[in-house]
Amino acid sequence: MQIRNVAIIAHVDHGKTTLVDKLLSQSGAFREHQAVAERALDRNDLEKERGITILAKCTSVVWNNVRINIVDTPGHADFGGEVERILNMVDGALVLVDAAEGVLPQTKFVVGKALARGLNPIVVVNKIDRQDARPDEVHTEIFDLFAALGASDNQLDFPMLYASGRNGWADPTLDGPRQDLSALFDLMVQHVPAPKVKPDLPFAMVASILEYDNFLGRVLTGRVEQGVGKVNMPVKVLRQDGSVVETGRMTKLLSFRGLERVPVDEVEAGDIIAVAGLSEGTIPDTIGALELSGPLEAIPVDPPTLAMTFRINDGPLAGRDGKKVTSRQIRERLMREAEGNVAIKVTDSNETEAFEVAGRGELQLGVLIEQMRRESFELTIGRPRVLTRRNAETGEREEPMEDVLIDVDEPYTGVVVEKMSRRKGDLRDMRPSGGGKVRLTFHIPSRGLIGYHGEFLTDTRGTGIMNRLFAGYGPWKGAIEGRRAGALISTENGDAVHYALYYIQERGTMFVTPGDKVYQGMILGEHSRESDLEVNPIKEKKLTNIRAAGKDDAMLLIPPRKMSLEQAIAYVEDDELVEVTPTAIRLRKRYLDPNERKRFERKATADA
């Protein structure tokens, strides 16, 4: 059977996973009347809750006796490492672009990677049934993008379809019959080349995806580049430097059939398969026959730009919620994550029982922390910081920079430009985008965006859309103004009391409610002034024999400000930490004892 390997790439929320659902359905991958969840490939709980794809996944359909292996990729820039690896496995790419939103930063990123790999993409203008669709303008934007990225003449002559993934149709023209996706299936078969393989050479494949299966153990997925593989065949695993990591047997070979992985006895060059039975092989190792002379080439992945410190939870409430609290357990989990996610790097920190975790952005590291807390870990997380470098020629300090594209209602343009300028952002372009909206383009240091997204949504009343893309390194921009407000800090251990919180709330915004566990050094709220203020949240009312009827009823509390995990991580300053447990997210000072805090402040002032 002939094979085609295709990746679906696009900006976040442009409809990749929904389109894959319809491709599977119309190819007959599902039985008639089979109950299938919406966005069937998003199996992970966090993917279902957030409505985004976090991990790249393979599926397979058969069309006119041709097997099409389809790889669904994430759209968020933070998970760009997944996209980069996947492009090494495929011979074609389906570029999805929203008919209303048009070309956005992540579209530029994924298309640039696909063109650099020499792929000739198929373009699908999706969501054509939107009321604000502008297909002709979007077509022009896509062509301009290809040209700006240095596409060859072949790549510029891309085939294009208009589609509605949700309704399951794609047509070469806007006035087509709008019945099904047969035009897309036919185009994938005709336009995407068959894999260039060497069937007569020894078996070899590059591992591109690593997963853990409860029954099979470590499962490595990749494309067979050459030769034929058989079950129980002896193989060796080679690192990129040519060293042999391990030798073993491929105890299971799995091929993709619809949503399932099916055991097979033999695999051929060109097919995307999964292998079980190897204990040390990882990404991007080469798995090959014993007679293989050297490793296959693997695509390099862009380095991390942001780091956080993961520490044990050493607060007074440690160990009450989670079961995994030791540094050894945290280290094992982080190392396992780094093994399967090439965009994350883990190193030991200078602090005791702490680890430096570097990744692509706040969302990627926030997802990792959320996964760990659901696995019953307890941690404390430090403030995110960017990873700088020295310019090899000039010796100047450089920091990661990002291109930010913002769509915002016209009345909120002023406040967005002011806030971005304060964070060292340069306004590069400003133009109307229709419907009373303005599109702003900024070039800004990555650290200027830490903690800004929540503020941005507040400033734009939730109507603004912000998209960002790593744009390389640039000269250090100097100090950026941090959080202006101080913190309300607990002086006592115990349960927060209504009476005490009523009087504390006059001093700022509260983060806790009556009955919440509090401890010395925990942050209870945001002070209305720039300085920190120590308060007693467990102070009870002195009882007397004389009671005034109705007096206590007037002590109404303002609802507290509840933060999500990402908001909490972005909120803390250098001397503060986020305590994460399976049931709670708390903010605290790094040094809980007030005398120790003062010593640290004096030392920091002296060092400055």
Last residue of a domain, one of 258, 289, 320: 289
411 or 260, higher pLDDT: 411
pLDDT at 42: 42
17 is in an annotated binding site: yes
In a domain? residue 335: no
509 part of a folded domain:
no
Identify the pLDDT of residue 544.
62
**What was the pLDDT predicted at 34?**
44
pLDDT in tens, 275-302: 988 888 887 889 999 999 889 887 666 6
Task: Give 305-354 as a DSSP string.
Answer: -EEEEEE---STTTTSS-SB-SHHHHHHHHHHHHHH-TT-EEEE-SSTTE
- Structure confidence by residue, pLDDT tens digits, 312-340: 999 999 989 989 999 999 999 999 888 77
Query: Of 421, 455, 475, which residue constitutes the final position of a domain?
Result: 475
User: Does residue 542 lie within any of the structural domains?
Assistant: no
Residue 16 and residue 64 share a domain: yes
| Average pLDDT of the segment spanning 567-588 | 91
Is 15 among the annotated ligand-binding positions?
A: yes
Residue 574 lies in a domain: no
Tell me the per-residue pLDDT of 231-274, one tens digit each, with 9 for 90 and over. Answer: 999 999 998 888 898 999 999 998 888 777 889 999 988 888 88
pLDDT digits (tens, 9 = 90+) for 126-180: 989 888 888 999 999 999 989 988 889 999 999 999 999 888 899 999 888 888 8
Q: Any known ligand binding at 127?
A: yes
Terminal CA-CA length for the chain: 68
Host domain of residue 434: 389-475
In the predicted structure, residue 586 carries a pLDDT above the cut 90: yes
Q: Which amino acid is at 147?
A: A
- Tell me whether residue 134 is in a domain: yes
Looking at residue 326, its pLDDT comes to: 93
Among 565, 511, 517, which Cα is nearest to 379's? 565
The pTM score is 0.74
Residues 180 and 211 in one domain: no
Q: Is 139 annotated as a binding residue?
A: no
CATH number at residue 220: 2.40.30.10
343-393 pLDDT per residue, tens: 788 998 888 889 999 987 777 888 889 989 999 999 999 989 888 988 888
Q: At 447, which CATH number?
A: 3.30.70.240
Task: Answer whether residue 458 is part of any domain.
Answer: yes
Q: 241 and 155, same structural domain?
A: no
Q: State the pLDDT confidence band at 516, using cuts at 50, 70 and 90.
A: very high
Same domain, 41 and 161: yes
Q: Are residues 155 and 229 in the same domain?
A: no
Q: Kindly state whether residues 219 and 175 are assigned to the same domain.
A: no
Concatenated DSSP letters for 363-430? HHHHHHHHHHHHTTB-EEEPPPEE--EE-TTT--EEEEEEEEEEEEEGGGHHHHHHHHHHTTPEEEEE
Indicate if the pLDDT at residue 493 is higher than 80: yes
Instruction: Please report where in the chains the tokens 């072949």 appear, as a residue.
Output: 154
Looking at 240, 255, 289, the residue that finishes a domain is 289
Q: Is 16 annotated as a binding residue?
A: yes
Same domain, 27 and 156: yes
Question: Do 182 and 102 share a structural domain?
Answer: yes
Regarding whether 30 and 7 lie in a shared domain, the answer is yes
Q: Is 128 annotated as a binding residue?
A: yes
Task: Indicate whether 272 and 151 sit together in one domain.
Answer: no
Residues 277 and 134 reside in one and the same domain: no
The answer to whether the annotation marks 380 as part of a ligand binding site is no
Contacts of 598 (CB under 8 A, 6+ apart): none
Residues 61 and 178 occupy one common structural domain: yes
| Structural domain count of the chain | 3
